[in-house]
Each structure stands twice: as structure tokens, then as C-alpha cells.
Chain A
Amino acid sequence: MSAAAPPASAFEGTSREIAFTCDEQGALTWLDARAEAVLGAAVGTRLVELAARGTEAKVERFLRERLAADDAPRPEPWEVVLRLSGQTTVLALRARRYAPGGLAVTASLVPADYAEAVGQVSGHLSEMATLHREAERQERELRRRHEELLRLQAEREESFRAVLTLHREIGEKDDSLRRAGEVKSRLVANVSHEFRTPLNSILGLTRLLLDRTDGDLTPEQETQLGFVRQSAEALYALVNDLLDLSKMEAGKVGLRVEPVSVAALFASLRGMLRPLANKPDVELVVDPGTVDATLDTDTGKIGQILRNLVANALKFTDRGEVRVSAELGTRGKEPVVRFLVKDTGVGIAPDDQPRVFEEFFQVEGHAERGPGTGLGLSLARHLAERLGGALELASTLGEGSTFTLEVPVHHPEARELDSLRERSRVLAPGNKAVLVVEDDRQTLFLYEKYLTGSGFQVVPARTLDEARAAMEHAPPAAIVLDIMLDGEASWSFLRDLKMDPRTRDIPTLVVTVTNREDHARALGADEFWLKPIEKEWLLAKLRQLARRGPVDTVLVIDDDEVSRYLLAKSLEGTTYRVLEASDGAEGVRLARELAPQVIFLDFVMPNTSAFDVLDDLKRDPVTRGIPVIIHTSKNLASDERSRLEREASAILSKQSLSREIAIARIREALDKHGLRGGEQGKENAG
């Protein structure tokens, strides 16, 4: 039996086993053909060199243990990892000593097959574990962001609360500052006022003495009196400036806006400024040039400002000229006029320029140039702002200064007030007139703003005369009276108002800057309030007072108590006040005494007919004009109806009474008589 040995490849793919031998050192001593092919090694190669890096120890251990082991019928297999053709491959080795120091080894490739499968499974598993980890991580990240958002939100809420608190604190500070400012203004105003009276006396008395009314004076006495007069005049000027300034700060400076041409303004300025020019080497030039325009502003204030500027310029100019000129320009779209006061005087250093407008600021070394109140420029700037304009300074030290007063051609408030007046002439339907006596335009606008949409309408009066004229025109539903700085006239106005039977019932709210509540109440004020006015208070008081006022009185003449009750009930909560009379005679008496705006008259009453009552009412001039609404449950005969239609304003059947109808009929009746619905019409009755 012999055959040629088959090539190793003949077993390729069918055999999973190879065989080789090695010596004590683990060097290969013989390999079968397949072992040569699979291991890719030759005789002499050490087995441990084939081991995958890191697993050499196990190969060495295998050799050591097998060389020392007893022969066993079937030795234990050892799984080792070899690196074969670049691949780590698991082989199961079984070895037996066949000679001293020699090992015969059979290696099975089967473990490589299952190791690969197991490896793949555990690879997938590890991948899943990694994915799981990643999912966890992302969830944690989401949670973290969520918490971050919550934290941010909480922080935002906190800072929001902090801002609120801050706002409240600022508000409180603001209030206390305003109060302090008001106290200061009031103090300055009062003190200045108290100063003026004795100063007037001093000035008057010195004039008398200087005029030699009481005999001649020695030259020495004349000089002394001159000093007295000079000092008194300086003091007087200071007090006046102070007073102006405090008025300005209190927003109490009224404007008298009227149209004037630039040319005319300069003509009057020339006359006014000439007496100021008293230096031989300084020429005062007041020349508008070719500028001409018609200004709509307070020329008195412009004169006051320019006088201050010119006096100032003359004081600091020793030679050369002080020139007052004008030019036209625009600020934004607004046309403006600029008045320039240019001098060739000492000039003002850049550092001092902003400060010269401060109260009582004096440039160093300028004090010896003569007396000044220290208020002139400050006042001038305030006035300029009050005119809606500005006062600026340009100056070079040693060369001179130019003050520029810029004012809008049309004073904005003038336009607004005109339109407010215009609006107040026509009372919107359902609105009540509130006469507001207040000299400050701004405050008038404020009142108008507060009362918008409230059912009240401002009739502005900036002087007491205007107020009286407005009252003559149409008595208002209420009066808001601002006690002006010159208080006495205002108090008298209030006293007269409350003494006159025609006006005493008009509710009057007194508003002041100083607490004079007792005084106001004593003179008959219905309400008192310390400035500044508050919208809520104003509206509440007006509603409360105007309702109980005499404005909308309705007289019901009806013998039936239930009818009277029903009518009163339907008008409950409206502005109408219901007076009741249970028979004709009482009705006529009440009508005479209280002059209601409308009378509801029952057609059928015991002992009296509606016609008798109508006749009585027509006979008396006080009651003649009061519209009468016949209120009846009777079906009227045609002659009755036609007569009633002639003599009464409306006929209202008792069955159809409702709140809406009652109010509508009252309005119609008032309209028919030429009175506006809901408005006072008392003069027609009288």
C-alpha cells in the first residue's frame, strides 16, 4: 500500500488541524505541510514569536506546563492567540512529550471559528452599551439645559423684581425731591414777596426825600440818600429775579403770546435798552438788519431776556460795541428767530462758559465790575426755555462773547392753548363743562388730558376775568380754582362765587401749593387739594360733586307715590337728581324755588288738571322756560293731545317708562328748548 504523499492543499478547507513538534525552548523542529502553510513559519521559529503581542505569557506557560506534565491519554487543550498572516487567530493546542525536551503538538483551528462569532457578538454588545451610554449622556445634557433654563428664568425673575424695587425707590426719591423743590420754591416766593413790600416803602420814601417834598437836603444827605436808593434798587432787582426764578421753577410763569413783527419788536427793544448804555466808549447797536417775520410769542419775555443779556454785555465791555441783531433759521422743521447779543468785552474762559448760567455764579475777578444779582443769566436761560427756545453762549477770552437766544416763531403752547379754547367752545354731547381757573398753560393741558373721556370737558380760564366771562357765557358743572401766587384776588373770587345765589351751588374744587384748606373751606370751597393734582382724585371728586350739583334736576309732579318712585328709580345712577311733588301747587312752588331743568307732570291729579299746572308755570318767568314732559297713563282725547303738544315738550306714556326712554325724553326736551342735553341751562329759567 503505497501512494504519493498528497499535497497540503488537498486538505485545505476540510481539515481544521495541523501538527508540529518543538524543542524545550519552544523552537519548531518539524511541521507538517499544513502547519507550514497555516503558521507561515519554518523549522527554528520559536512558537512564542508567533503569539499575538501581549499573549506571549500564555504560550510560554503552555510550553512550560506541557513539558513538565505527565503523559496523559488525552492532554487538556490550551487556547492561545497567534498572529497569523496579520490576523489574530485563536488555536487550541494539545501537546504531549514524545522525547525528553520534545513536544508533539496538534493545533485545532476550530476555536478560531467560534471565537470570531463570539467576538462579533460581544462587539455588538459593546456597541450597544456605548449607544446606551450616549443616550444617557444626551438625556443628562437635556436635563442640564433644562435646569439651566429654569435657573436663568429664576434669575430673570429676580432681576425683574429688583428693577421693580429700584423703580419704586426712584419714584419715592423723586417724590421727596419734588416736595423739597416745592417747599423751596414756596419759601423763596413767600420770602421774596415779604421783601418787596418794605423795599417798595424804602424806594418810595427815598424818592420823596430826594424830590425835596419835605424840605431841602444838604449835599451830604443827598449823596447818602443816593446810596440808600442804589442799594434798595439792587436789592429790589435781586428779589424780583428770585421771584421770577421761583415762579419759573414752579412752572407758574404765564405767557402772554401775541403776534408781533421782528421790526416792531426791535423798535420797542431800542427804546427799552437805550437807558442801559451809559459808557462813553461802548456803542449799543440794536439793529434787526433785513430780517422780518411775524413772531407769535411772548415779547415781554424776549425783552426781559435781551435786557439781561445787554446789561451783562455792557458790564463786561469797556470799549467797542454791544450789538443786538436777529437772524432767521430753523430747528428741525420748526422756523426760529435767533437774537444775537454780541460784545467786544472781556470774554469768558471755556471752563467758565457752562457755569455762567448757574445761579449766583460769578467768574473770578468779575465781581469788581459792579453789582449784579447773579441771577440774570440763569433767569434768561429759564425764560428762553419757557418760550420753547434756548440760550447759548460762544466766547473767546479777551475778544468778546456772543449770546444767542433762539425762539420758535410760533410758540408751541400758544397754538395748543388756542385749540384748547376752540375745543372748549363746543361741548361734546353728554359732556359737562368744568371751568378750570389756572394761569399756567401746561397745567391746563394736564387738566384736559386728565379729563379726556371722563364726560367732563375743560373750559380754560387763565385769569379771573376770563373765568367770570366764561361763567356769564354758561355756568359750568363744576369749577376747579387754582389759587394763584397773588392769592388774595383768587380768594375773593371764591368768596364772591359762594355768596352769589346764582353760582353758590356750583361745586368748586380749590387747588393750592400751600395748605390753606381751612381758609378754602371757610370761604365755601367744596373740596380742597394740595398740588400736584392727581387724576384719580380729580375725577372722583368731579363725579361726586357734579352729580349732587344743581345741574340736572328733574321735578316729578305726580300724586301717585309709586309713579314717582318708579321714575326716580329709573333715573337712579344717572346724573339726574329727582325732586318730588305730590300735587300741582307744591310742584309749582318747587319749580319756582329750585328751577329744575325738566318737569315730569302727571296728567291726571285730584283737584288739579295738568293744564292748570302748565298755566301756572307759564305765568312765572322763572319757570316759563322749563320744559315739561307730560307723564300719563290716560289715553288722551285728541283735543287734549293737541293742546298738550303745543304747551308741553313731550308726552310720555307711563306704560312705556324705562330708564332709556326717560333719559331720551329729558334730552329731547332740553334740546327742544335750546339747551344742550345734560348741560346747565339755568339762565334760560331766569
Chain B
Amino acid sequence: MPPAVLDTPSTAPRDAAPATPALAARYLDALVAGDRREAFRIVLDEGLGRGVSVKNLHLDVIQPAQREVGRLWEENLLSVAEEHLATAISQLVMAHLYPHLPRRPANGRRVVVACVEGELHDVGARMGADFLEMAGYEVRFLGANVPTDSLVDLVVRERPDALGLSVVLRDHAPAALEVVAQAREALGSELAVLLGGPGVDAGLAAAAGASVFGARADELVDAFDAALGGRP
């Protein structure tokens, strides 16, 4: 399946756009410093405003910077509070990018994307939802920590073509299994389920009868396309 290439031609020529690694480094600095304004300026003005595509901003600036924040916490260079602040800034930045998503024509598929109960890390799921939208999916993104009951209710009500669940911490895997079991009980096994996030491995996916999706948001789109039998 060809990768979803969604870059819209921008007014600025491609070669005039700033290199994304440089942007990513400065963006990380802004996150670590907790400087919200600087972070916005880098992504929206220097990135989007100068011709860097939304997709590149996601994949090459925000995602690496967020990974780096995690690493810095692991290396004890950032506190939990600083990590939260950095994540909050990235979420706001993504919210501002959202209206600018270049979208393919609707492919007629509806999907629900959510973090399971207890799972507070929703940056990855949000990015995945954005990429699915760019690829033409109609996405209901429910955010972090969705209580199992509400999530199942919504899925039964909306009857999406696929359900995408994000599990960052392995401890939340049981909640994911519970959602899948209840949703399948109500809707039957036709409901395609995709699990993603660092907390998911092949064993969990097999237990849930789900496809796994990759670490990169664009791989996620491929996984959905494959699970739904290609674009209609």
C-alpha cells in the first residue's frame, strides 16, 4: 500500500523551509524550559508559516521532541512535573495545528480512537487520530483515560468501521482487553480493532484479536487501511 502522502503544496518553496531537525532541537529546548510561547512560535510561525507540512511537524518535530522529553525524565534530567508541562505544551500546539490538517477526500470509513481507562498519555493517540483524518477517515477522538463503560457505549452507538486503542503503559492492557471484549460482544467480531502504543506487544494484540499498529503515525494509517481492506 502506498504511504499516505498528504503534503499540500505550500506557498513557500520547499527548499526555503527550515530543516526539521533544527526546529525539533529548538522545540525541545522550549519544552524543557516550559516556554509555551516559544514552542508555538517555532511550530506555527517558523514551521507551518514557512512551508513545513503539518505531517512533517508532527513526525519530525513534535514526536521526536516528546520522545526526548521521556528520555530526559528517564535519565533523571526532567522531573515528572516538567514532563507534564512539556506534554501539555505539545498538546496545545497540536490543537492549533489541527484546523490546518490537509485532508484527503473522505474515504467513507468511520473510526473511533481513544486511550483506555487509566491511560493518561494521549499525545500518541491524538497524533494517530490526526493522521487518520488526513488520510480521509472520519475520526471520533475521545482523548485520554476514557472509562471503559463510556467507551463501549459510544462504540456500540456509533458502530464505527474500526476501533483504535492506545496503551502507553503496559499496566493498562487489561482495560484495553476489557473494552475489546465488551465491544465485540455487542457488535460481533466484524469490528476491526487496532492497538497501538509502547504498552502493546504481539502477545496483547493476539489476546485482543487485534492488529498492532506501528510507532510512527503514518504506519498507523497503513495498518488501518490494511485492516479495513484498503480504501473503498
A residues engaging B (CB < 8 A)? 52-55, 57-58, 61-62, 65, 76, 78-79, 81, 83, 88, 90, 111, 114-115, 118-119, 121-123, 125-127, 129-130, 132-134, 136-137, 144
Contacts and interface: CB of A to CB of B under 8 A. Distances in A.
A88 B171 contact: yes
Interface in B131-172: 139-145, 168-171
A144 to B, nearest CB: 8
Interface stretch (B3-11, B49-57, B69-77, B177-185): B69-77
B20 interface: no
A61 B77 CA distance: 12
A666 to B, nearest CB: 78
Contact of A54 (B85, B120, B170): B170
8 contacts: A61-B74, A79-B79, A111-B79, A114-B81, A118-B85, A130-B126, A134-B141, A136-B99
Nearest to B130: A133
Nearest to A78: B76
A58 B199 contact: no
A134 B140 CA distance: 8
Contacts of B92: 125, 129
A306 B81 CA distance: 110
Contacts of B170: 53-54
Given A132-B95, A134-B141, A136-B99, A58 B76 contact: yes
B80 interface: yes
A132 B129 CA distance: 14
B91 A126 contact: yes
A143 B75 CA distance: 47
Contacts of B85: 118, 122
Contacts of A123: 120, 144-145
Contacts of A62: 76
B199 A54 contact: yes
A475 B145 CA distance: 100
A79 B73 contact: yes
B143 A129 contact: yes
A79 B80 CA distance: 7
A314 B144 CA distance: 97
Contacts of A55: 74, 169
Nearest to B115: A126
B76 A133 contact: no
A133 B120 contact: no
A122 B199 contact: no
Given A115-B81, A137-B139, 6 more contacts: A65-B76, A115-B80, A122-B85, A123-B144, A133-B98, A133-B129
Interface residues of B, number: 35
B94 interface: yes
Nearest to B118: A88
A52 B74 CA distance: 13
Nearest to B199: A54
Contacts of A57: 74
B84 A90 contact: no
A121 B84 CA distance: 9
B81 A130 contact: no
Given A111-B80, A122-B88, A52 B169 contact: yes
Nearest to A115: B80
B211 interface: no
B76 A76 contact: yes
B122 interface: yes
List 10 A-B pairs, minimum CB-CB distance, nearest first: A130-B143, A53-B170, A58-B74, A122-B84, A118-B84, A115-B80, A129-B95, A129-B91, A53-B171, A126-B144
A54 to B, nearest CB: 5
Contacts of B129: 133
Contacts of B95: 129, 132-133
B198 interface: yes
A127 B143 contact: yes
A66 to B, nearest CB: 10
A133 B96 CA distance: 9
A137 B92 CA distance: 16
Most A C-beta atoms less than 10 A away, residue of B73, B76, B169, B199: B76
A385 to B, nearest CB: 56
A87 to B, nearest CB: 10
B121 to A, nearest CB: 9
A320 B143 CA distance: 96
B63 interface: no
B30 to A, nearest CB: 17
B87 interface: yes
A390 B164 CA distance: 73
B204 to A, nearest CB: 11
A126 B81 contact: no
A340 B170 CA distance: 96
Contacts of A78: 76
A58 B74 CA distance: 5
Contacts of B76: 58, 61-62, 65, 76, 78-79
A55 B80 CA distance: 12
A161 to B, nearest CB: 27
A144 B120 CA distance: 32
A541 B87 CA distance: 89
A133 B141 contact: yes
A54 B169 contact: yes
B139 to A, nearest CB: 8
Contacts of B126: 129-130, 133
B142 to A, nearest CB: 7
Contacts of B141: 130, 133-134, 137
Interface in B91-119: 91-92, 94-95, 98-99, 106
